[in-house]
Each structure stands twice: as structure tokens, then as C-alpha cells.
Structure 1
Amino acid sequence: MEVKKNNFLKNYSSILLLLGGIIAGTILGLTFGKKIEVIKPIGDIFLNLLFTAIIPLIFFTISSSIANLERTDKLGRLFVIMIVVFLGTLLTSAIVMIIAVYLFPIHQDVILSKVPLEAISMGNTGDQIAGLLTTNDFFELLSRKSMLALIIFSFLMGFSTLRAGEKGSSFKSFLDSGNEVMKQLLNIIMKMAPLGLGAYFAYQVSFYGPQLLGTYAKPLGVYYGACLFYFFVFFSLYAFIAGGKKAFVVFWSNNITPALTAIGTCSSIATIPANLEAAEKMKIPVNVRNVVIPLGAPLHKDGSSMSSILKITVLFAMFGKDFTEPSTILLALGITIVVSIVEGGIPNGGYIGEVLAITVYGLPMAEALPVAMILGTLVDPIATVLNANGDLISSMMISRFSEKTKWT
């Protein structure tokens, strides 16, 4: 009996500490309110270390994974399956949210809150695509604001190493070594997670807590309820698709730390290290996890898909428009896919999706954007959980279909 107890503490100590930090932060935030801002720098230090380490981690993880591929056609099959899984889960999550707002309609006036608007670039489409996929200088790749450009560069670097063959073997060893070193660095940084996430979460609760119970209570209630339903029911279904009861147990035994990290950081990108570690414990093949998880963080967002539907629904209710037209719903589904691709994985990062929806539907930007921004901020924690855990469960399904992985 004592042995089982010791094994439990050993296996789940990091999760218990992380959960304890978040619970303590929540209690402190609710108890002391704005006064708790004094400990926010502790959370900022943790997040800054995490974000600083993530950029080289992504480079080494993707580059070394591609460089170690034995057959280039294997990657093509992986990409096709990944696109199908990503699009399938995105559309499923959006449809779940549409059903939720029909079952629990939002008919209320939304008070317009004055919030500072970010400067949003309105260049032509070609310039925006070029800026999304590439940078015009190498040093700009080292910013998490250029995630897609960094991922593309990492893929190209991996392919170049693969094509170099024997002459590139030393560089491949460098990539492998860098990948291992970055994993160890992230392990060291994550030791601070209970304290850092607790402090950051305390600030988030003290700052946004009152709004959760105010004007936005009903739409947020619908959203959080739908997300929890999707999280437990559909992620379980995806796990069964990936490998039946055994895959179900493997997923729910290993997704806790990534979920808690996502709640605490509100960032899919910051959750990449936790996802990679969980995927390794779950025995997902290295060539799958090292490609799918870093790529999924900026591109695959089930939670953001659901939040896009919520924002459109609230804005339609706010301006007295009908959301039941089939063409409106189809357009909303299209917007959710675009939003998932162009939005960044950083906390509260980029309001391109909101601007796109408001522009497409012809709503007044000055009145609509503040509401969409506030909703986006308030739904961020659970949306990030679905975004990040969605990458993990997707990697299981992709591994099943591409590598015939079986869980034991």
C-alpha cells in the first residue's frame, strides 16, 4: 500500500504542484483583488523565460525531426492526414458551438466597454500573406510573432540537411544535440511553473474576474459550457478513434499538465513543451509529435474556432441581425478556419479574426471590435485549453492513421 502511495506521489507530484499553484493563485486573486498585482512580476519572469526558450526549441525540434526522416514521401502522407484531422476537428468544434447558441440563444444588449484598440495593419492581401509566411530579415524569425515564418524556415532547414546526406551529417548531429539541450532547458524552466503560473493566474483572476459575473455572464456561460462538453465528450471520442479504450486511458492520464499549463499561460505556444513531453510519455512517434505539435500551436485551434462563433453570435444579437440564415452560418464556418490559421498562439494575441468577421458581415468597427476583444480575452483560458489539448489528441489520431500506432 505504501509503495502504491509513493508511486502515485512520484508520478503526479508535478501535476499536483502545478494544480496547487493555480488554485492558490485563484484564491489570492479573489481575496486581494487588484492588490495582488504586486506579485505579477513573478509570473512575468516565468513566462518570459518560457517564451525565450520556445523559439529555439521549435527550430531544433522541427529541423531535427525532418533531418532524420528516412523517406521524404512519408512526410507527404503525414501532412495530408494532419490537414484532414485539423480541419475535421476545427469544423466539429465550430458546429458544436453553433448548436450551443441555438439551444441557449443569446438575446441581450451588450454594454459597449471602452478598451484600447491595438494598431491593426490593413495592407493589401498579398503583403499580409507575405508577412505571415516570411520575414525580410533573419533576426525577425527569432520573435514569437513570426511563428509561421519560423516553422517554414525550420522545415526548409531540415529538408536541406536531409538532402545534404553524408556531408550534412555533422549539422544533423548539431540539430539533434540542440533539440536535446532545449528539452532539458525547458524541463528546468518548468520547475518554476507552480510559482510562476500561480502568480500570473492570481493577476488574471483579480483583473478579469468581475467581468465574468457582469454583462458578459450569459454568453460566457454558454461558451464555457459548450467548451467543457466538447473537451470531455469529443476529446474522449477522438481518443477512442485513435485506439479504443487503451488510447482513451493514455490520453486522459497524460493531458493534465498541458491543460493546466494552457490555463495558466493562456498561450498555445507556451504549452508546446508540456505537449511534447506528454506526447513522448504517450509513445507518440517522434516524427509525428515533433511535427504536429509545433505546427498545430499556431495553426490548429478548436477553442478559437468556438470563440469565433460566439463572437459572431453576440455581435449579431447586439445589432439585431439574424444568425439563422444558412449562408451566414456557412460564412461563419469559413471565418473560423481562416481565424485558426492567421491568429497567433500568444496570449490575447492579434485581433485579425475579429476584424475579418466584422468586415465580412459589414458591422460598424468602432462599436463591434471592443466587444469582440473583451469576449476574446474572457474566453482565452478555456479556449487555450482546447487549442493546446486539441494538438495533443490530434497527434494521437494522426499517429494512428499515418504510423498505425497502437497503445498498450
Structure 2
Amino acid sequence: MKTILKNYSSIILLLIGITIGSLIGLFLPNVVEYIKPIGDIFLNLLFVAVIPLLFFAISSAIANIESNGKLGKILGVMTSVFVVTIAIAAVLTIVGLWAFPVTAIKDASAISETISTNPEDSWGDKIVRFVSVGEFVNLLSRQNILAFVIFSFLIGISVRKSGEVGKPFLNFLLAGNEVMQNLLTIIMKLGPIGLGAYFAYQVQTLGPELFGFYAKPLAFYYIFGTVFFFVIYSLYSFIGNGKSGIKNYWRFNITPSLTAVSTCSSLATLPANLLAAKKMGIPNYIASVVIPLGNTLYKNGSSISSILKIYVAFAILDWNFFEPTTLITAVGITLLVSMVAGGIPNGGFIGEMLMISIYGIPNEAVPAIMIIGALVDPLATILNATGDTVAAMLVTKFSGEKFFSNETELETSTEM
């Protein structure tokens, strides 16, 4: 029990902060104007940290990848599996939200602002603005994060091509990535206070209707996520290795699942996943590549929550989420968030920043979707962590490699 409380302490503290903020918003509305600046300061700290965090995380990850021979083939198949299945999770979530819509808040005027984009812009103008800027200094603005992400990717590729000469710069990127992750961890310790203050403002502004609004998206995530866990992962394991794939996946996935829910950490589940992959018959040279990289890059739970958070933001603002260009952009943001931000502590925040940049979402909607992200974290961790082994099964299948089929060998590895 102590271990569970320790690992979920951040969520518990966040819930306490939100509860206190809600009570202040309901019963002490005159106090809200004094504590709202605390929430503003918290958000500003996050806004300032996100640019260097993105740069070091993306550039160091790309620059540090080494591929040759069979490893190169495995990495290619792995990338395809990650992209396709994450997109499937996003599309299925969109379908689920279309079939079971969350009711929007009726009065969103309190947090609505004018969108910064020009409705008369052509598609070409929008693409140019989203993916590039005319001056280097403009890359450092959070309004141009997508262009900054592309630039960071290109820096990582350039470091790889620089070989030994680029090693000092690579070490700089790796060190910077570690420093910025620790900085974000420190900032997020202020989350219970910062989000609590902002929640007090939202409760005072929107009233008790806010609570009913949150209940529905949370219920959707846990119901949809549970169905996805059992049905889709069973389908993937069947594609990977037939009926024996389903049997072995659910037989040996129990320990990783329990580890994920008790620790609320994909990283802590990594050792259990590697052992489970061996018992499932996945070749070690595939598991040792796909599962560690998947721990950072492959996040089905984050994919589902990313779509849900975008939907929630649009619902709060009374915008049309199901407009085709919005949906296509949402899937693109989801791919980026799931595969780039997955290894960053509180990396889902990158998704909020991309939403603000691309959709022109007001800052005031950010705390709401951050709260959604925190509350769905237990199930999201299970989906993120245990999806790595099923992804390894798919990579084994599509790379033409063979599963271990010797039952004696499999039973022996089970006893280890």
C-alpha cells in the first residue's frame, strides 16, 4: 500500500489541489482574483520550459540512433508498426467520440478568445506558417512549435551525419535533455498549487457545470481504453502470432500490467516487459530493440488521451471538433505527441502546446485538458507500457523473423 501511495502521490496531490481550488471557487469567489496569478505563473513556467525541452529531447533522440544491417530493417518495420497502430488508436478514438459525444459546456464565452489564424489564408499559407518561419528568432515562440519540432529533427539528423566531429555536440544534447527533463519535473511539482489556483478560477467562472463536464470524458476514456486494451491488443497479438500469440500475450502480460498500474510508470514496467517478451517467444534481438524504444516512442494510451484532450478543449470553447481538417490535424498532433513526447516526464504537455500553436486554443483551456491527462494516467500507463510487447510481436511478424516455438524452451524461460 505504501508503494502504491508513493507512486501515485503526484496524482493524489494534484487531486487535493484541484479539490481545494474547487472549494475556493465555489465558496470563496472573492479570493479567486488573488490566487489566479499563481496559476498564471505556473503556466508561464511551463511555456518557457517547453521550447528548450523539445529541442534537446528531439535532437538527442534522433542523433543517438544507430542503425545498420538487420538492426536497420527492424527499426524500419518498428517505425511503420508504431506509426500505423498509433494512428489506428487515434482514429478509433475519434469514431468513439463521434458515436458517444461528450456534451459541451453551454457558456464558453468566459474563456473564449479570438483565433489568431486568418480565415482567408489559403491551404498553402497555412502549411507554410505551421511548418516554417522566416526568422530564426521566431522559432523560439511557442506559437511556432511545429516549425521548431521540424528544425529539431533536422538538427538531430545533421549531428548523426557529422560522425566523430559531431560527438561533442551530441554529448551537449544528451546533457541538455537530462537537465531539461529535471527542470520540467521540478516545475510540475508546483502542479497541485498552480492547477488548483486555475481550477478555482474555472469553477468560479463556469460553476458546478464544470464537474459534470469532466465526468463524461473521463468515463469515456476508461470505458473506451478498457475495450481497446482487451479487443485491439488481442487482435494485434493474433496478427503477430496467431492463436498462440493471443494465448501467450495474455498469459504473460499479467505481470507487466500489474507493474504498470502499481507504479504508474512505463519505465518501471520495462524490465517486466522484456521478461514477458521472452516468455511470449519474441526473439531477444527484436525485443531488446523494440521494447526499450517503444517505452519512449510507442504510446497507445497517450494517443487516445491526446484525441480526447483536443476534443475536450474544442467542447469547452464550443468549436466544431469533427471538421475534416481539424480531425486530420488532430491525428498528426497525436502521432507527434505519442512518438516524440512519450519519454519526457509529463510529456503530454507537449500536446497542449501543439494544440495552442496549431488550433489557436486560448491558454485558459490548457489547465482543463492537463487535468484530464492526469486523471486518465493509470489506464494510459497500462496501455502505453503493455503495448510495447504486442508491438514487438507485430515487428517479429512483419520483419519475417520467427517466434520461439519450442514449448520446452518456453516453459523453461517461464520458470526463470
Smaller-chain TM-score bracket: 0.5 to 0.7
How far the C-alpha of 1:82 sits from its partner, in A, is 0.8
Are 2:385 and 1:388 equivalent residues in the alignment?
A: yes
8 Å CA contact 1:255–1:278 kept in 2: the answer is yes
CA distance in 1 between counterparts of 2:260 and 2:155 reads 27
Match of residue 231, structure 1, among 217, 226, 229: 229
Q: Is the 8 A contact 1:303 1:383 kept in 2?
A: yes
**Offset of residue 139 of structure 1:** 7.7
1:324 matched to which residue of 2? 322
Q: How does 1:23-62 map to 2 (within 5 A)?
A: none
- Aligned mates of 1:267, 1:24 — CA distance in 2: 12
8 Å CA contact 2:105–2:318 kept in 1: the answer is: no
Task: Decide which of 323, 336, 341 is 2:339's aligned counterpart.
Answer: 341
Alignment partner, residue 188 of structure 1: none
One-letter amino acid of the structure 2 residue matched with residue 326 of structure 1: P
2:365 alignment partner AA: A
- Return the letter of the residue paired with 2:102: I
Aligned ranges 1:81-92 → 2 under 5 Å:
81-92=77-88
Matched AA of 2:383: L
Deviations 1:120-158 (A, max 9, x none): 98487166447878894748737884899xxxxxxxxxx
Query: TM-score, normalising length from structure 1?
Result: 0.61
| 1:74 equivalent among 67, 70, 77 | 70
In the alignment, structure 1 segments of 5+ residues that lack a partner are 1-17, 35-62, 115-119, 149-202
Question: Counterpart of 1:296 in structure 2: which amino acid?
Answer: G
Alignment of 1:277-288 (within 5 A): 277-288=275-286
For residues 279 and 319 of structure 1, what CA distance do their matches in structure 2 show? 44
Contact 1:311 1:375 in 2 (8 A): yes
Deviations 1:54-74 (A, max 9, x none): xxxxxxxxx9xx89xxxx432
Identity between Structure 1 and Structure 2 (%): 45
Paired residues, what number? 290
Distance in 2 (alpha carbons) for counterparts of 1:220 and 1:86: 25
Greater CA drift, 341-350 or 257-266: 341-350
| 1:110–1:379 Cα change, 3 Å | farther
For 2:245 and 2:141, the matched residues in 1 are separated by 44
Please give the residue correspondences for 1:100-115 in structure 2 after superposition, counting only pairs within 5 Å.
100-109=96-105
Q: How much has 1:252 moved relative to structure 2? A: 0.4
CA shift, 1:24, in A, is 12
Opposite residue 389 of structure 1, the aligned amino acid is T
Contact 1:90 1:300 in 2 (8 A): yes
Residue in structure 2 matched with residue 272 of structure 1 by the alignment: 270
Contact 2:256 2:273 in 1 (8 A): yes
Asked if 2 retains the 8 angstrom alpha-carbon contact of 1:267 and 1:347, the reply is no
Is 2:128 the counterpart of 1:95?
A: no
Residue aligning to 2:395: 398
Change (3 A) 1:233 1:405: same
**TM (normalized to structure 2)?**
0.60
Counterpart amino acid of residue 252 in structure 2: N
Range 252-261 or range 289-298, more displaced: 252-261
The aligned residue for residue 360 of structure 2 is 362
Match of 2:205 in 1: none
Give 2:382's aligned amino acid.
Answer: V
Question: What is the distance in 2 between the residues matched to 1:289 and 1:374?
Answer: 34
Please give the per-residue CA displacement for 1:82-128, whole angstroms capped at 9, x wherever unaligned.
Answer: 1121112101111111111111111132999x9xxxxx984871664
Q: Is the 8 A contact 1:304 1:387 kept in 2?
A: yes
> Matches of 2:359 and 2:250 in 1, distance apart?
40
For the residues of structure 2 that align with 1:232 and 1:23, how far apart are their CA atoms?
27
| CA distance in 1: counterparts of 2:390 and 2:369, whole angstroms | 28
Code of the residue aligned with 1:96 in structure 2: it is: L
Q: Which residue of 2 aligns with 1:309?
A: 307
For the residues of structure 1 that align with 2:154 and 2:254, how far apart are their CA atoms?
37
Q: 1:127 to 1:401 in 2, by over 3 A?
A: closer
Between 1:74-83 and 1:315-324, the stretch displaced more is 74-83
How much has 1:299 moved relative to structure 2?
Answer: 1.0
Match of 2:136 in 1: none
**1:297–1:388 Cα contact (<8 Å) kept:** yes
CA distance in structure 2 between the partners assigned to 1:214 and 1:335 by the alignment: 27
AA aligned opposite 2:217: P
Counterpart residue type for residue 374 of structure 2:
T
Cα distance change, pair 255–143 in 1 and its aligned pair in 2 (3 A): farther
Q: In 2, distance between residues paired with 1:138 and 1:250? A: 41
Alpha carbons of structure 1 residues 260 and 347: separation in structure 2 relative to 1, 3 Å: farther
Query: Which residue number in structure 2 is paired with residue 220 of structure 1?
Result: 218
Verify the 8 A CA contact 1:266 1:346 in the aligned structure 2: no
Give the gaps of 5 or more residues in structure 2: 17-63, 112-139, 160-167, 182-191, 197-207, 408-416
Does 1:300 find its partner at 2:315? no
